[in-house]
Amino acid sequence: MLWGGQSVSRLGSQVSLLALPLLAIATLHATTLQIGLLSASETVPFLLVGLPAGVVVDHLAKRRVMIAGDAGRALVLASIPVAWAAGALTMAQLFVVALMSGVLTVFFDVAYQSYLPDLITAPQLVDGNGKLATTESLAQVAGPAAAGALVQVVGAALAVLVDAVSFAASAFALLGIRVEDRRPPAPEVGGASRPRLLLSEIGEGLRFVFRERHLRSITACTATANLFGGMTAAIIVLYLYRSLHLGPAVIGTAFAIGSVGAVAASLVAGRLGVLIGIGPAILWSAAIGNCGDLLLPLAPQVHPLPFIVAGLFVAGAGAVAYNVSQVSLRQTLCPLQLLGRMNASIRFLVWGTLPVGGVLGGILGTALGLHAALWVGCAGGATAFLWIACSPVPGLRTTAETGARLQLGEVGGPVEVEGPEPMA
């Protein structure tokens, strides 16, 4: 049910990923800076509520948090075609919808990554994450092409309605799951449980991430890639539309064909970790994937599609292989009682760079031009793998080995969970 619901939801989200910026560009005549701010609005909630979300997820039923997130996103996205039909759609509404949807996504994603270990066993995590990545990658193939066709035929506003319906479908699928998450008992002091201080609980998650050497380097790599990737994402559709003069259907098709790389990687990501080790898989997928983006600014004005498709293919393949391996490693490294806060802490740090990148992309696109800004984003992202290369991650071979070392206390810092501790 989780797998099926997410397959539908991810497909719908791919439609909005293309439809929202095209709606702003073609219907509301947004500027380059406004497109950058719109991109930032979708991810800035990871900075605003990312850390408290981990505490909430660790104390509430994760499945119910996910259902609330899906239902809320369905409602806020449905407001766009309603306002458009009434002739009242504005950029301000797009900003608000992107922000509210982003807040709900923060809670959903933290619960989502923390709930999977409750449904399957630790040795199955790489396979489970691989299956989820496979359907997400298939959505990345079908979604942009469907989005481009929908925008071309019915307009961007009505295309967003597809995403709203997909979130509703995901919520219904989650309602069908009968497995509740495993929550550790509330800490007891003197025989009676007492409320934990919010800042203390947030601090436990952050300290675990920063003390654990493998998680620290993975976080730095992902944060760097997302900072420069946020710059690229903020301007890439605008660049293809205005600088290369590609239509919505062509842009959607290019993204769809390029996403075949993500599908291929999702099918072999688990086996890659077995063949060369999970550590080397993380290193090489980050290195090759981020360098693939360099083909985007290299695309010529005449016949740019081969470069665009190849760049998206390599980048998508690398991102999926990297995520399947590093998320599985994270889930293995972290104790149950810190799983939500660990995921929230890492999401705060790595997704928090996305809105910064989005704003920088809009500013640099305005000041330097879209092509120069695209070069900055793609070249900067290509350096992200160096964090992994200079860390102990490449020496890891299997998640089972890592889990055993965690039990022996050979990885990770001390985990303090018995009582609140003042933050420095």
Q: Is the pLDDT of residue 63 over 70?
A: yes
pLDDT tier at 225, thresholds 50, 70, 90: very high
pLDDT tier at 180, thresholds 50, 70, 90: low
Give me the count of residues in the chain. Answer: 424
Residue 332 backbone phi and psi in degrees, to 5: -80, -40
Q: Work out the number of other CB atoms within 10 angstroms of the CB of residue 195.
A: 10
pLDDT tier at 144, thresholds 50, 70, 90: low
Q: Is the pLDDT of residue 424 over 60?
A: no
Encode 374-410: b = buried (16+ Cβ within 10 Å), e = exposed.
bbbbbebbbebbbbbeebebbebbbbeebbeebeeee
Per-residue confidence (pLDDT) for residue 401, from 0 to 100: 52
Q: Is the pLDDT of residue 132 over 90?
A: no
Q: Taking residues 294-316, what's their average pLDDT?
A: 89
Q: Taking residues 336-361, what's their average pLDDT?
A: 81
pTM above 0.85, yes or no: no
Q: Taking residues 354-379, what's their average pLDDT?
A: 89
Q: Is the pLDDT of residue 241 over 80?
A: yes
pLDDT tier at 7, thresholds 50, 70, 90: confident
Only one residue has tokens 């990737």, namely 229
Only one residue has tokens 């695209």, namely 374
Q: Is the pLDDT of residue 161 over 90?
A: no
Which range among 68-82, 88-102, 325-339 shows the weakest confidence by mean pLDDT? 325-339
Interhelix angle 2-22/213-238, rounded to 10 degrees, is 40
Which one of 1.20.1250.20, 3.90.190.10, 1.10.3080.10, 2.60.40.10 gives the CATH number of domain 2-178+205-407? Answer: 1.20.1250.20
Between residues 68 and 255, the one the model is more confident about: 68
Per-residue confidence (pLDDT) for residue 184, from 0 to 100: 53
Q: Is the pLDDT of residue 414 over 50?
A: no
Most confident of 41-45, 95-99, 331-335: 95-99
Q: Is the pLDDT of residue 196 over 60?
A: no
Per-residue confidence (pLDDT) for residue 422, from 0 to 100: 26
Per-residue confidence (pLDDT) for residue 383, from 0 to 100: 92
CA distance 113 to 330: 10
Q: Taking residues 90-103, what's their average pLDDT?
A: 90
pLDDT above 90: percentage of residues in the chain: 14
Q: Is the pLDDT of residue 407 over 80?
A: no
- Average pLDDT value for the chain: 79
Q: Taking residues 182-207, what's their average pLDDT?
A: 61
pLDDT tier at 143, thresholds 50, 70, 90: low
Per-residue confidence (pLDDT) for residue 402, from 0 to 100: 52
Q: Is the pLDDT of residue 19 over 90?
A: no
Per-residue confidence (pLDDT) for residue 181, from 0 to 100: 66
CA–chain centroid gap for 42, Å, is: 11
Per-residue confidence (pLDDT) for residue 377, from 0 to 100: 92
Per-residue confidence (pLDDT) for residue 41, from 0 to 100: 83
Between residues 374 and 237, the one the model is more confident about: 374
Q: Taking residues 33-37, what's their average pLDDT?
A: 81
CA distance 40 to 29: 18
Q: Is the pLDDT of residue 186 over 60?
A: no
| Neighbouring residues of 198: CB distance < 8 A, sequence distance ≥ 6 | 52, 55
CA distance 412 to 244: 48
